[in-house]
Amino acid sequence: MELFINLTINGLATGMLIFLLAAGLTLIFGLMSVLNFAHGGLFAWGSYAGVWLYLLTNSFIAGIIGAIFIGILLGFITEKWIIQPVYGNHVQQILITLGFMIVLSELLKVIWGPNQIAVTPPAYLTGSWEIGNILIIKYRAFIIVVGLLMYGLIYYMLKHTKIGLIVRAGVINKEMVQSLGINIKRIFYMCLWLERLWQH
């Protein structure tokens, strides 16, 4: 039983990371009809930048803020110069974002080297709680909590706000949303930025 609970917690922590990635991909594909194969590259860049800043400043919070900033900046650059010229053409989107993914991952190696960077979480996130024979690693619990918070935030935004309503309508019929006087492009950009925000 203990093994089952430990594995479930580990699985949930990994699952939350995948959820955050998948939620972004789904929204961008659903709303913007963009197949972004560079998604993982953007995620990795935010992570590397965050770790780099964390090591530089010794502040975990600064690392998170830096990761968000770099993620948003790269998201903006990707949309403006990589994706915008190929809107509406899935084949071109796959080719160009796949190419950009390679560029992003090679640039990572150029800047931070080819080896993995190991980082110790801040003191308040290291260690574990022991409940009977069950060991809950604090950092994994933190990831699960952040993932759940993000889920709650996305759910609330989509279900209970006007922007969320427009996003849901836009996924179904973009043209109709525009015909109702809504600037769908502005909503797209907002989603891209939000997606970058919750990924990091």
Partner 1 sequence: MNSLLSLKNVETYIDQYHILQDVSFEVPAGEVTVLLGRNGAGKTTTLRTIMGLNPPKKGEVAFKGAIMNGLPPHDIANRGIGYVPEDQGIFGALTVEENMKVAMKKESDDVMERMEWILNLFPDLKTFWKKPGGLLSGGQKQMLSIARAYVNETELLLIDEPSKGLAPIVVEKVMHSIQEMKQKTTIILVEQNFLMASQIGDYFYIIDDGRTVFNGRMQLLREDESLRRKYLGIA
Residue ranges that bind partner 1, judged by CB under 8 A: 162, 165-166, 168-169, 172-173, 175-185
Minimum separation from the CB atom of position 87 to partner 1 (A): 14
Output 58 or 161, the one with its CB closest to partner 1: 161
Minimum separation from the CB atom of position 174 to partner 1 (A): 10
Handedness of CA 155, 157, 159, 163 (dihedral sign): negative
Please, what is the Cα angle at 193 between 30 and 85, to 5 degrees? 65
Minimum separation from the CB atom of position 90 to partner 1 (A): 17
Minimum separation from the CB atom of position 31 to partner 1 (A): 13
Q: Which amino acid is at 179?
A: S
Output 46 or 170, the one with its CB closest to partner 1: 170
Output 18 or 180, the one with its CB closest to partner 1: 180
Minimum separation from the CB atom of position 169 to partner 1 (A): 5
End-to-end CA distance of the chain: 33
The answer to whether residues 64 and 50 touch, using CB atoms and an 8 Å cutoff, is yes
Q: Which amino acid is at 53?
A: L
Handedness of CA 80, 81, 86, 91 (dihedral sign): negative
Output 135 or 172, the one with its CB closest to partner 1: 172
Output 7 or 176, the one with its CB closest to partner 1: 176
**DSSP H helices in 1-137:** 2-32, 39-57, 60-77, 90-112
